[in-house]
Structure 1
Amino acid sequence: MDVHVTLTGRGDLAAQIYRQLLDAVLDGRLRPGERLPPSRELAVSLAVSRNTVAAAYDRLTAEGFLVGRVGAGTFVGEHPVSRARSAPGGHGVLPRAQWRELPERAEPWRPRFDFRVGVPDVELFPWQSWRRLVAGALRWSAVRSADYADPAGSPELRAAIARHIGLSRSVRAGADDVVVTAGAQQALDLVSRVLVDPGDVVAVEEPGYGPARALFAAHGAKVVGVPVDAEGLDVSRLPARARLVYTTPSHQFPLGMAMSAARRAALLEWATRAGAVVVEDDYDSEFRFSDRPLQPLQSLDRQGRVVYVGTFSKTLLPLLRLGFLVAPATLRPALTAARQLTDWHSELAGQAALARFIDEGLLARHVRRAGREYGRRHALIAATVERDFAKARLIPSAAGLHVCLDSDVPMEGFARRARERGVGVNTIEGLCPDTGGRTGFALGFGAVRFDDIDEGLAVLRGCLEDE
């Protein structure tokens, strides 16, 4: 292992080496059992005598921090005293206020019964087909090019996405209208960079998608919540000064209703009058279990006011980090430039594999197969809740990977009991910074096995009834 040591001046060089190696051991940069460079090799790299390095090694060995093994070398001891790496003195550098207020990311957890929102079933993913396509992509000369690629995404993937959403969602788009992103969240970030100035008013649904709200606020926007009802976003409550409106009309997050046709028309009329942009997040709409899907806002828009955002994180897997946006021609150059300035482009082999995955019909086949399985889980959960849950009421939903329930039970205690009993579940308060007065919880059915649903729901029912 290479060890970085910096020597200054002509003082006690052995002491300097000793101190820096000791710090590396105590900080955990050199871990128990790791082999240090031979004293002769380190002496050459530091331009000092071998005796100087040997003196530092001998002192550390005598103190128990290093162990010499005949014929093998010098190693870090198995049980050295450790310490936390200290922060620099003083107050340090602080981020802007909105970044200091964000909640810390929760520790990874694998519950026995996983009803958490936004988690697809990895066992349904067609791993064999995906491996074949990725392996093929890595053999293609285009992927091995030394040049940076188009920030908007590969032409093949953009064309494939345009065809896919045109057929499956009636989105009006050609390849040139599509910008490939690292998921929906990056699409929202690009839109914010291009459209939102600090102090601009951004309207979001309340309750609504928390990560989007936090992202707009991080860009300095004044975020205003707008109530939703059985028809979706209440357009009559939109703030007059809103520069941008973020909505999930196909499957409102988290409640699940679809925006009515009348509300869709009213929202587009309002955007035209106000000179505002509508960001349509097609959240979780790929999997439908009843009702016909309504036309997307994007396909109804005739004034170039809608940016359509989608992702493959729920359809396929979050780890692929592939999504897209469809934007009016007036915004595309700026969005592409913003993508180039942030991270340039998505990984090329994944883009190539996804393009073929779509073109070979594998995505459509996967959506049909997974949709049937998710439909079984959705039906079982809905029937069980309606029959057995006296303290929770199901909110009707015809699409997505979760359902929401209203409940008057205090959610903090309910969530704590569920976690203690091995059930992963999201409260509405936990999903949304502002709930609009709603209290309740969501039941995701992407990650929970069908055979575990009855037992998991029985545990949750006990958590509600224990209040």
Structure 2
Amino acid sequence: MDLHVAIGGRGDRADRIYRQLRDAVLDGRLRRGERLPATRELAGRLQVSRATVSTAYERLTAEGYLAARVGAGTFVAYAAADPSPGPTRTQGAAQPSPAWRDLNDPLWVEPRPVAYDFSIGSPDPALFPLDAWRTSVAAELRGGTLRSASYGDPSGVERLREGIARHLGVARSVEAGPGDVLVTSGAQQAFDLLARVLLQPGDTVAVEDPGYPPVRQLFEMAGARVVPVPVDAYGLRVDLLPPARLVYVTPSHQFPLGGVLPLDRRVALLEWASRHDAVIIEDDYDSEYRFGARPLDPLQRLDADGRVVYVGTFSKTMLPALRLGFVVAPPALLAALRHAKRLTDWHNDTVTQRAMARLLDSGVFARHVRAATRVYEERHAVLVHEVGELLPDLELVPSAAGLHVAVLAPVAPVARQDASAGRFDGARVAERAAVAGVAVQPVSRFRRAEGADGVLLGFGGIRAAHIPDALRTLAEAIGRERVGDPAPPVR
């Protein structure tokens, strides 16, 4: 143990050592069973006599804080009943810049134990191919991946980039070779790198509304002027786009409503980008899990000018904890993105990259996605059917992909919008549902402008058999909210 003890100044050094070790035991920094340095070793570190340290140890032993074991050493014998969180510290004079103050994360909800979890954005960890992953990681460790002391390629391990390019070409018709791919720590780092190399303070960025809040916030932190653009049942309203340097879009499965951008709008978006010399970030959100016909070709496939940057992630198909994402970028951007990656975190964990490459090469990943899709398709079908039966007053937004669906409340006619008693309040419904044991998120949390409210129902974390009971409980929460009683506190 590297134990720090301060003995500067005058006075009884043995007493100072005693008090600091005692305080460390009492506040839980030194825990029961931990071995302390030998008296000779600690005396050498502190540059005091061994007798000084022995005096402190003997006193602590006599009072029951330490215990000496012949031939083994000196150990902490006392267990703090309520370990202290540490000393109270002042806020401090150092403050973040104004843009970073008072931020919130609409996607982050404090985990609470619930009976039914309709949270969005997470796959079912029970479906993760743990045995195959463990075998793949072990093979890399045996193969000597960690024996190199050098840093890796910021673009990512070549074998993984080859696997990603091959997989995207087969599964999504993306035109890419390994040299077009940059491995990132999830999709969010991809957006951060793109903001760094594409934007200057004051540039205009168009985003979908409702849309993905972390992306919007990231562009705002980069100093951009972020303009929300409405979406409809088919996705982004391209006809409402303002002149901009950059547009962020989720054409395959609009987040959070689920619409699919039709071909005519995709073409119109590419034409808009050409007119305004803009870049398109195509977030192929949840494209791996589809329950209907083959998806339309991605924007990247239709792009003839090199204006589309394709972003994807393994967070839904594998696990978010792996922090594996990727960018497929036009050649003109790749050098800058590579430098940006090197300057932020240099490169992703090499063992994880190589292990993922093994799963792609062996076909394990493709088989896992097919098997998981069958499970999610069943849950999706049950959810769609039961929403129609149990939530008849809400409108389910059609969606043939992803791990969640949106249900919206009808928008009241203009003449009645002043009568708030009948309005659907998704935030209050979510609070009531949480008390009843159902986790949902309101659509309003993802909007900047006014629009239809509702709730999002994720099915990554709930079994098909539990969906009917979960929706009955949610329906009761919605019914109580419409009665108008005050919402109970969430515990």
TM-score interval for Structure 1 and Structure 2 normalised by the shorter chain: over 0.9
Q: Mapping of 1:1-16 within 5 angstroms?
A: 1-16=1-16
**Aligned counterparts of 1:80 and 1:121: Cα–Cα separation in 2:** 37
Match of 1:322 in 2: 324
Match of 2:440 in 1: 425
**Aligned counterparts of 2:55 and 2:377: Cα–Cα separation in 1:** 70
Match of 1:116 among 119, 127, 134: 119
Is contact 2:31–2:76 with CA below 8 Å preserved after alignment?
no
Is contact 2:116–2:438 with CA below 8 Å preserved after alignment?
yes
Q: Mapping of 1:210-229 within 5 angstroms?
A: 210-229=213-232
69 and 7 in structure 1: CA distance in 2 versus 1, 3 angstrom threshold = closer
C-alpha offsets along residues 146-185 of structure 1, whole Å, 9 cap, x if unaligned? 2211110111111111111111111111111110111111
SS of residue in 2 equivalent to 1:151: coil
20 and 435 in structure 1: CA distance in 2 versus 1, 3 angstrom threshold = farther
Q: CA deviation at 1:245?
A: 0.7
Match of 2:485 in 1: none
Is contact 2:28–2:79 with CA below 8 Å preserved after alignment?
no
**Aligned counterparts of 1:261 and 1:450: Cα–Cα separation in 2:** 33
Is contact 1:25–1:80 with CA below 8 Å preserved after alignment?
no
**Aligned counterparts of 1:184 and 1:171: Cα–Cα separation in 2:** 17
Query: Paired residues, what number?
Result: 464
Q: Mapping of 1:193-204 within 5 angstroms?
A: 193-204=196-207
Q: Mapping of 1:437-448 within 5 angstroms?
A: 437-448=451-462
SS of residue in 2 equivalent to 1:446: coil
Match of 1:449 in 2: 463
More off after superposition, 230-239 vs 18-27: 18-27
Is contact 2:115–2:438 with CA below 8 Å preserved after alignment?
yes
Q: Mapping of 1:353-372 within 5 angstroms?
A: 353-372=355-374
Is contact 1:206–1:436 with CA below 8 Å preserved after alignment?
no
Q: Mapping of 1:298-317 within 5 angstroms?
A: 298-317=300-319
Q: CA deviation at 1:89?
A: 4.8
Match of 2:171 in 1: 168
SS of residue in 1 equivalent to 2:332: coil
Q: CA deviation at 1:218?
A: 2.1
Match of 1:248 in 2: 250
Is contact 2:427–2:441 with CA below 8 Å preserved after alignment?
no
Gaps of 5+ in 2: 410-422, 482-491
Q: CA deviation at 1:124?
A: 1.9
The residue type equivalent to 2:7 in the other structure is L
Is contact 1:385–1:394 with CA below 8 Å preserved after alignment?
yes
The residue type equivalent to 2:78 in the other structure is G
Match of 1:382 in 2: 384
The residue type equivalent to 2:398 in the other structure is P
Q: Mapping of 1:34-113 within 5 angstroms?
A: 34-57=34-57, 66-68=65-67, 71=70, 73-75=74-76, 77-79=78-80, 83-89=84-90, 91-103=92-104, 106-113=109-116
**Aligned counterparts of 1:143 and 1:69: Cα–Cα separation in 2:** 39
**Aligned counterparts of 1:29 and 1:106: Cα–Cα separation in 2:** 30
**Aligned counterparts of 2:449 and 2:119: Cα–Cα separation in 1:** 18
Q: Mapping of 1:331-346 within 5 angstroms?
A: 331-346=333-348
**Aligned counterparts of 1:70 and 1:365: Cα–Cα separation in 2:** 55
**Aligned counterparts of 1:259 and 1:355: Cα–Cα separation in 2:** 31
RMSD: 2.3
65 and 3 in structure 1: CA distance in 2 versus 1, 3 angstrom threshold = farther
Match of 1:145 in 2: 148
**Aligned counterparts of 1:69 and 1:142: Cα–Cα separation in 2:** 42
SS of residue in 1 equivalent to 2:190: helix
387 and 215 in structure 1: CA distance in 2 versus 1, 3 angstrom threshold = same
The residue type equivalent to 1:37 in the other structure is P
Q: CA deviation at 1:82?
A: 5.4
C-alpha offsets along residues 332-383 of structure 1, whole Å, 9 cap, x if unaligned? 0010111111111111222122222112222222222111111111111101
The residue type equivalent to 2:137 in the other structure is V
More off after superposition, 361-370 vs 90-99: 90-99
Identical-pair percentage: 52
392 and 81 in structure 1: CA distance in 2 versus 1, 3 angstrom threshold = closer
444 and 435 in structure 1: CA distance in 2 versus 1, 3 angstrom threshold = farther
173 and 112 in structure 1: CA distance in 2 versus 1, 3 angstrom threshold = same
**Aligned counterparts of 1:187 and 1:364: Cα–Cα separation in 2:** 23
Normalising by the residue count of structure 1, what TM-score does the alignment of the two structures yield? 0.92
**Aligned counterparts of 1:295 and 1:248: Cα–Cα separation in 2:** 13
C-alpha offsets along residues 24-46 of structure 1, whole Å, 9 cap, x if unaligned? 34554223554433444422321
26 and 198 in structure 1: CA distance in 2 versus 1, 3 angstrom threshold = farther
**Aligned counterparts of 2:80 and 2:27: Cα–Cα separation in 1:** 13
C-alpha offsets along residues 229-265 of structure 1, whole Å, 9 cap, x if unaligned? 122111222222x221111010000000011111111
Is contact 1:207–1:436 with CA below 8 Å preserved after alignment?
no
The residue type equivalent to 1:220 in the other structure is G
Match of 2:401 among 399, 402, 406: 399
Q: CA deviation at 1:458?
A: 1.6
The residue type equivalent to 2:209 in the other structure is E
**Aligned counterparts of 1:3 and 1:454: Cα–Cα separation in 2:** 56
C-alpha offsets along residues 431-455 of structure 1, whole Å, 9 cap, x if unaligned? x252642311111111111221122
Normalising by the residue count of structure 2, what TM-score does the alignment of the two structures yield? 0.88
Is contact 1:25–1:76 with CA below 8 Å preserved after alignment?
no
Match of 1:159 among 139, 148, 162: 162
Is contact 1:428–1:435 with CA below 8 Å preserved after alignment?
no
Q: CA deviation at 1:283?
A: 0.3
SS of residue in 2 equivalent to 1:192: helix
Is contact 1:190–1:335 with CA below 8 Å preserved after alignment?
yes
Match of 1:413 in 2: 428
The residue type equivalent to 1:50 in the other structure is R
